[in-house]
Amino acid sequence: MGKIIKYILLDIIKNKIVIAYTIFLLAITLSVFSLEDNSQKGMLTLLNLVLFIVPLVSIIFSTIYIYNSSEYIELLISQPIQRKSIWLSIFVGLSSALTLAFLLGVGLPLLLFEQSAVSFMMTAMGVFISIIFVVLAMLASVTTRDKAKGIGITILLWIYFSLLFDGLILFLLFQFADYPLEKPMVGVSMLNPLDLGRILILLKMDISALMGYTGAIFKDFFGTKTGMALSVTVMFLWVLLPLLYSLRKFKHKDL
Amino acid sequence: MIMRFTILYSFCICFVGNAGGKILQVGRSHAFKSITAALTAAKSNDTIYVEAGVYREHNIIISKPVVLIGKGMPVLDGERKYENISIKADGVVIDGFKVINSGISSIVDYGGIKIYNRRNVVIVNNVILDCFFGIYTQYGINCVIKNNTLSAHQVQEQHSGNGIHCWKSDSMQIIGNKVSGHRDGIYFEFVTNSLIRKNSSIKNLRYGLHFMFSNNDTYSENIFENNGAGVAVMFSNHVRMFRNYFSKNWGDAAYGILLKEISDSHIEGNRFEFNTSGIYMEGASRIEVYKNSFKENGWALKIQASCMDITLRNNNFIGNTFDVGTNGSLVLNKFENNYWDKYEGYDLNKDKIGDIPYRPVSMYSMVIEKNPPAMMLFHSLITTLLDKSEKVIPSLTPADLVDKHPLMKALSL
Amino acid sequence: MIEVTNITKKFGKLQVLKGISAKCEAAQCIALIGPNGCGKTTLIKNILGMVVPDSGTITVLGTDISRGWKYRSAIGYMPQIGKYPENMKIGQVIEMLMDIRRMEQKTDEDLINAFALPQLYHKRMGTLSGGTMQKVSAAIAFLFKPQILILDEPTAGLDPVASEILKEKIITEKENGKLFIITSHILSELDELVSRVIYMHDGNILFNNTIEALKADTGETKLSRAIAHFMSKN
């Protein structure tokens, strides 16, 4: 498996898109820190980067990569290699490439410029989000043979997690405005890794003071060790469950 | 003008007082070893000089109009049991002492220096450390509290006193003091015709300035920074606030200023920076908000629907998360010629005034006002989109809350 | 060596294999023939584990393939249309496969040399002609000295010289006791190689016997004629 990961990583790096992505992230991070006099504002720009650009690039790049390497996968499958190790190698290859890109582009400069809880949380969430969206891409591409359809599903998934889900929440909040919804919202936020990531980062920023009572409830929950442990577990589940499901599908996939 | 006159007047009193009396010296090498002894011997209008050293004289009661001057900051230690100085005579001057460790009690309001029902008292250039109340005035008239430094390390609101505390007083002058670490930095209750100027009130537990039932007062050029809840001005009228600096009052219920049941007041030339809410108004009426700068606050302004006749003119709004928040659709307030950095309009006739009106209340700020849990969507893509669409077709935001003539360029304030 | 029992496979609504059973022994060279779309490639892919059958079992060298993957080291596969990562060079593909399977026995590089592939090692897979691709596929199939070789249309794109080289290789390896399964439309080519014929039609095996039996049955001496005869009978 190690060798396959090596070849996949080499292939991704040769692809140059990941390098371009790293440079893009780095350029934004550096310009944010050199242009913004207020680090709070810079953090908000990076928050948007982590919440919108990182998942979008992760999911689309991974999907296209998997479709484009269907020949490679076929070649490997005819060899005495377990399907499981092929699929997991793709997972490790893609997620480590994209995580590395994120760490070099955002995480490291961030931690160098400002060693704060926010920077640390931002980096951790960025890594989680990168990996989760790689896994979602793997799930999308294992469900359909058609590349165009696969990319379509991928974009829909991204829109769902970054927009539709929140729209749905807003709708429900107004439908059930008469009920105290602050506490249930803690649970709901776990159904979307982007929401969970965003809230965890905002809570580490001073900005949580603006979030009033809702912010206080979230802070009470996520501020505790249990809350933190739970949210990390949820993030891991967001990686693990789709990965295992896609693996199951891949094992029975006809090539 | 009146203020300047009163300052002059009070200084005249003390110098005139001096001229008539003897001089008494207190210190190790002098006739009087203790301040109490000197005070007993002193007659009205005498001047007592106190040498550097530590004086533990329990409660020093001054019942004659004398001038007390410390040379080299003599220390008056209240040993955490006593009120250091009690002033029970008119025209007393306390200058240059280091007053430390007053008693702390939940029954008696011990002060480092306390003025009891007197007038024309002057308290200048003292350092007051770790006292329960720093300088306490009750029924004081025309007293001057100037250039004192008050700091304490209080941790709990219930067991802490205020820095400069004035109660039922008139014509007070609080000038150039530095207060930190108390419950409220400066506290006014039933104080009229007074001036609070060039003080700095930083890192107090609750309010930098707490102001209640106090009419016809002015506060200007003060710095209120990093206080637990900012500044509260409540149940008063005819208050003038000029050129103050409110900053970093950041927390769940912190404000630059909280205005509650205030009327006929004037807020001009102040700067509000990095506060959760710059100004929070509730039940306020007839207030002029003019030429202030609101920068990088969570909410620059929160105006509850219970406010009326508030006029906002020529203010700068720059880099605030939300410009204006409100809880109702009824708007009886006026926004005119302000500069809003979020304004996206144009100016075809080049008169430096935007041609289309600006709506400072964003859709999302209305949404969270109606439905607070929606705050969980803070900084998500959907809220940004909502705000953008609301700008194009306003539906939820109050139609009348609008600046019809927004400025194209920030004012230099 | 290979035993296929009651294999069925559906792609969507299309029933591609309708209960196939067959047995293949060592030192045989089996021609798997039949019209287009009869299920030949699907059957091969089933054996290779690239397609998972809906029902039935396949054993290779005595082990059920649904429970393992190691058996694939015993199979060399030459696909009908070789699919390789376009950005890789020929040399890299071969090097990578050798790297991944390094722990195995010595390699057989006869075909690599016979096809003069080392001179082409710097060429990217995406730029290769169909014939060169076939050469690479053939070389890879024989590379790890497998006991079973499955060749899907092996000579389709090859020039006569290469075709001849490959045939000779097949003959020598068959004599070494290896099992060959070859599909081809060009029946005349198979004449000299094949010892057994499996004829598939519409998802079923219509005929599975030695070439001698087929010729005797039909009274023809050439494989192509024998098959034509057989087809016209059905």
Domain that holds residue C94: 2-208
Chain B interface test: which of A182, A196, A214, A217 (most B C-beta within 10 Å) = A214
Pull the structure tokens for residue A25: 């992230």
Higher pLDDT, C208 or B215: B215
Bridge partner list, B50 = B26, B70
Is the predicted pLDDT of residue B411 greater than 50, yes or no?
A: yes
Q: HEC profile for B194-237?
A: CEEECCEEECCCCEEEEEECCCCCEEECCEEECCCCEEEEEEEE
* Among A169-183, A211-225, B62-76, C200-214, the range of highest mean pLDDT: B62-76
Bridge partner list, C17 = C9
| Nearest residue, CB atoms, C99 vs list A3, A11, A69 | A3
What was the pLDDT predicted at C25? 86
Higher pLDDT, B339 or C209: B339
What was the pLDDT predicted at A250? 93
Chain B residues in contact with A181 by the CB 8 A cut-off are: 373
What was the pLDDT predicted at B95? 95
What was the pLDDT predicted at B4? 53
List C-alpha distances in Å: B316 to A36, B293, B341, B379, C123. Answer: 20, 5, 8, 24, 66
| Nearest residue, CB atoms, A173 vs list B250, B276, B373 | B373
List C-alpha distances in Å: A246 to A62, A90, A173, C68. Answer: 14, 12, 33, 20
Chain C residues in contact with A70 by the CB 8 A cut-off are: 83
What was the pLDDT predicted at B12? 46
Nearest CA-CA distance, residue A76 and chain C, Å: 9
What is the distance in angstroms between the CA of the first residue and the CA of the last residue of chain B?
Answer: 24
Chain A residues in contact with C7 by the CB 8 A cut-off are: none
Identify whether B48 is part of a domain.
yes
Instruction: Read off the pLDDT of each residue in B278-302 and give the average, rounded to a whole number.
Output: 93
What was the pLDDT predicted at C201? 86
- pLDDT bracket for residue B390 (50, 70, 90): confident
Rounded-to-integer distance, Cα B359 and Cα B343, Å = 8
B379 contact A CB<8A: yes
Higher pLDDT, C37 or B46: B46
Identify whether B102 is part of a domain.
yes
Rounded-to-integer distance, Cα B409 and Cα C223, Å = 93
Interchain CB distance below 8 Å, B376 and A216? no
- Give the residue from B231, B223, B237, B281 showing the smallest Cα distance to B257: B231
Is the predicted pLDDT of residue A181 greater than 90, yes or no?
A: no
What was the pLDDT predicted at A165? 95
Is the predicted pLDDT of residue C142 greater than 60, yes or no?
A: yes
B382 contact A CB<8A: yes
A215-233 pLDDT tens trace:
788 888 888 899 999 999 9
Is the predicted pLDDT of residue B17 greater than 50, yes or no?
A: no
Is the predicted pLDDT of residue B348 greater than 50, yes or no?
A: yes
Interchain CB distance below 8 Å, A11 and C73? no
Identify whether C160 is part of a domain.
yes
Average per-residue pLDDT for chain A: 90
Identify whether B7 is part of a domain.
yes
Is the predicted pLDDT of residue B159 greater than 80, yes or no?
A: no
Average per-residue pLDDT for chain B: 89
B212-266 pLDDT tens trace:
999 999 999 999 999 988 899 999 999 999 999 999 988 778 899 999 999 999 9
Interchain CB distance below 8 Å, B367 and A166? no
Backbone phi, psi, residue C128, to 5°? -75, 150
Identify whether C55 is part of a domain.
yes
C174-186 pLDDT tens trace:
888 899 999 887 7
ipTM exceeding 0.95, yes/no = no
Pairing of strands C14-24, C2-11: antiparallel
Interchain CB distance below 8 Å, A214 and B367? no
Is the predicted pLDDT of residue A38 greater than 70, yes or no?
A: no
* Among A175-179, B149-153, C219-223, the range of highest mean pLDDT: B149-153
Higher pLDDT, A155 or C230: A155
What was the pLDDT predicted at B155? 77
Describe the crossing of helices A54-68 and A70-77 by its angle, rounded to 10 degrees.
50
Higher pLDDT, C163 or B198: B198
CB distance B148 to B129 below 8 Å:
no
Pull the structure tokens for residue C166: 């490959």
Chain C interface test: which of A5, A75, A142 (most C C-beta within 10 Å) = A75
Query: With pLDDT > 70 as the criterion, what percentage of chain B qualifies?
Result: 95
- pLDDT bracket for residue A33 (50, 70, 90): confident
Burial class of residue A252 in the structure, from the number of CB atoms within 10 Å of its CB (0-12 exposed, 13-18 middle, 19+ buried): exposed
DSSP secondary structure letter of residue B353: B
Cα angle for residues B66, B72, B78 (degrees, 5° grid):
65
CB atoms within 10 A of CB A156: 12
Average per-residue pLDDT for chain C: 86
| Nearest residue, CB atoms, C87 vs list A4, A14, A254 | A14
CB distance B301 to B294 below 8 Å:
yes
- pLDDT bracket for residue C101 (50, 70, 90): confident
DSSP secondary structure letter of residue B289: E
A185 contact B CB<8A: yes
CB atoms within 10 A of CB B30: 13
Rounded-to-integer distance, Cα B295 and Cα C97, Å = 63
**B34-43, B177-186, B393-402: least confidently modelled range:** B393-402
Is the predicted pLDDT of residue C45 greater than 50, yes or no?
A: yes
Rounded-to-integer distance, Cα B327 and Cα B369, Å = 6
Single-letter amino acid code for the residue at A104: L
Domain that holds residue B190: 2-228
Describe the crossing of helices A117-143 and A193-204 by its angle, rounded to 10 degrees.
170
Instruction: Read off the pLDDT of each residue in B372-391 and give the average, rounded to a whole number.
Output: 85
Chain C residues in contact with A76 by the CB 8 A cut-off are: 100
- Give the residue from C232, C72, C58 showing the smallest Cα distance to C149: C72
CB distance B295 to B275 below 8 Å:
no
- Give the residue from B216, B215, B275 showing the smallest Cα distance to B244: B275
- pLDDT bracket for residue A238 (50, 70, 90): very high
Chain C interface test: which of A14, A79, A145 (most C C-beta within 10 Å) = A79
B115-127 pLDDT tens trace:
999 999 999 999 9
Nearest CA-CA distance, residue A54 and chain C, Å: 26
Compute, in degrees rounded to 10, the torsion defined by CA atoms B196, B199, B201, B207.
10
| Nearest residue, CB atoms, B298 vs list A170, A185, A209 | A209
- Give the residue from B138, B125, B146 showing the smallest Cα distance to B165: B138
A209 contact B CB<8A: yes
Is the predicted pLDDT of residue B2 greater than 60, yes or no?
A: no
Say how many domains are in chain A: 1
Query: With pLDDT > 90 as the criterion, what percentage of chain A qualifies?
Result: 57
Instruction: Read off the pLDDT of each residue in C27-46 and give the average, rounded to a whole number.
Output: 87
Q: HEC profile for A1-59?
A: CHHHHHHHHHHHHHCCHHHHHHHHHHHHHHHHHHHCCCHHHHHHHHHHHHHHHHHHHHH
| B338 φ/ψ sector (left φ>0, alpha ψ -120 to 50, else beta) | beta
CB distance B401 to B390 below 8 Å:
no
Is the predicted pLDDT of residue B68 greater than 60, yes or no?
A: yes
What was the pLDDT predicted at B363? 86
Chain A interface test: which of C80, C96, C102, C128 (most A C-beta within 10 Å) = C96
Interchain CB distance below 8 Å, A254 and C93? no
Say how many domains are in chain B: 1
Rounded-to-integer distance, Cα A193 and Cα A133, Å = 10
**A145-149, A224-228, B371-375: least confidently modelled range:** B371-375
Domain that holds residue A78: 2-251
What was the pLDDT predicted at B209? 94
What was the pLDDT predicted at C234? 65
Identify whether C173 is part of a domain.
yes
CB distance B195 to B174 below 8 Å:
yes
Rounded-to-integer distance, Cα B123 and Cα B175, Å = 11
| Nearest residue, CB atoms, A166 vs list B299, B371, B382 | B382
CB atoms within 10 A of CB C163: 18
* CATH number for the domain harbouring residue B214: 2.160.20.10
* Among A21-35, B13-27, B187-201, B318-332, the range of highest mean pLDDT: B187-201
Say how many domains are in chain C: 1
Full DSSP string of A171-212: HHHHHTTTS--HHHHHHHHTT-HHHHHHHHHHHHSGGGGGGH
CB distance B227 to B250 below 8 Å:
no
Is the predicted pLDDT of residue B18 greater than 60, yes or no?
A: no
Is the predicted pLDDT of residue B395 greater than 80, yes or no?
A: no
Rounded-to-integer distance, Cα B266 and Cα A84, Å = 73
* CATH number for the domain harbouring residue C169: 3.40.50.300
Give the global pTM.
Answer: 0.80
Identify whether B88 is part of a domain.
yes
What was the pLDDT predicted at B392? 74
Is the predicted pLDDT of residue B389 greater than 50, yes or no?
A: yes
Query: With pLDDT > 90 as the criterion, what percentage of chain C qualifies?
Result: 8
Backbone phi, psi, residue A234, to 5°? -60, -40
Nearest CA-CA distance, residue A182 and chain B, Å: 5
Interchain CB distance below 8 Å, C83 and A11? no
